[in-house]
Amino acid sequence: MSTDTLATAASTGAAGADAVVELEDVVRVYPGHPPVRALRGLSLRIDRGELVGIVGPSGAGKSTLLHILGTLDQADSGTVHIDGHDVGAMNDRQLSALRAHRIGFVFQQFFLNPGVSALDNVADGLLYTGAPLARRRRRARTTLERVGLGNRMHHRTNELSGGQRQRVAVARAVAGRPSMLLADEPTGALDSASGAGVLDLLHELHSAGTTVVVITPDHDVADSLPRQVHILDGRIEHDERRTR
């Protein structure tokens, strides 16, 4: 799962130079009786350095779109380019390398090891780099300081508040310096104050140059973002950019 693997994959096709995401006429249908048409010819471009909210009610296709963007699922038809790589032409090894090196994930449930310090939760997220523990811990320490947890990094995650745990999850996701951060309802399990703090952090990461995509059903969360892509019934209903 090396950068050499990704370099080989890059020869299979490239998107626009400034695009982190380019989807063209993407269709995803889940078998059943009747089949579920989760995405219906959806096209979307997200440029490097954008902060975008993917907004819609339950069943609109947000989770399927997240899985497509994160290369956790593949389209039945259409084209998907992530950070210049044609996902449909990549094998499992190349897809794993793309996820490891180019995509950071933040989930509502955190998925942290409760008996391990915040520092080692973040350091463990860098195992794919092959770097020795001391180097991974240095990177983890710097990233935790960046998200405002420099004074809590040696606490076990079960000793942290919900908002602090989500910040650890964000630190783990960005420690590898991914091209894109995918945040799946990152405030959904938090109280309003903690949720606001995590949103502030995402804005700070965006201001520092990280491309951030937030999946949310919450219109208040979406209203804080400079671009909102509203989806309904597997299609883009409208795409709104705001000046702040």
Domain CATH code at residue 131: 3.40.50.300
Six token digits for residue 56: 């819609």
Inside any domain, residue 125: yes
Give the model's pLDDT for residue 189: 87
Inside any domain, residue 84: no
Mean pLDDT value across residues 230-237 = 97
Long-range contacts of 71-74 (CB under 8 A, 24+ apart): 71/95, 71/98, 71/99, 71/103, 72/99, 73/28
Inside any domain, residue 140: yes
Number of domains in the chain: 1
> What is the rounded average pLDDT for all residues in the chain?
91
Inside any domain, residue 19: no
Range of the domain at 165: 48-75+97-241
Please say whether the beta carbons of 188 and 200 come within 8 A: no
Give the model's pLDDT for residue 244: 57
The C-alpha angle with vertex 102 and arms to 24 and 15, in degrees rounded to 5, equals 30
Examine the pLDDT at 14 and tell me if it is beyond 70. no
Inside any domain, residue 142: yes
Examine the pLDDT at 128 and tell me if it is beyond 90. no
Burial class (CB in 10 A: 0-12, 13-18, 19+), 48: middle
Inside any domain, residue 1: no
Examine the pLDDT at 224 and tell me if it is beyond 70. yes
Give the model's pLDDT for residue 13: 45
Examine the pLDDT at 5 and tell me if it is beyond 60. no
Kindly report the pTM of this predicted structure.
Answer: 0.89
pLDDT band, residue 11 (cuts 50/70/90) = very low
Examine the pLDDT at 208 and tell me if it is beyond 70. yes
- Specify the higher pLDDT residue, 234 or 220: 234
Report CA torsion sign: 110, 113, 115, 119: negative
Inside any domain, residue 237: yes
Mean pLDDT value across residues 181-204 = 92
Give the model's pLDDT for residue 129: 86
Q: State pLDDT tens for residues 46-84.
A: 999 999 999 999 999 999 999 999 999 999 999 999 999
Examine the pLDDT at 99 and tell me if it is beyond 90. yes
Inside any domain, residue 30: no
How far is the C-alpha of 208 from the C-alpha of 210, rounded, in Å? Answer: 6
Burial class (CB in 10 A: 0-12, 13-18, 19+), 72: middle
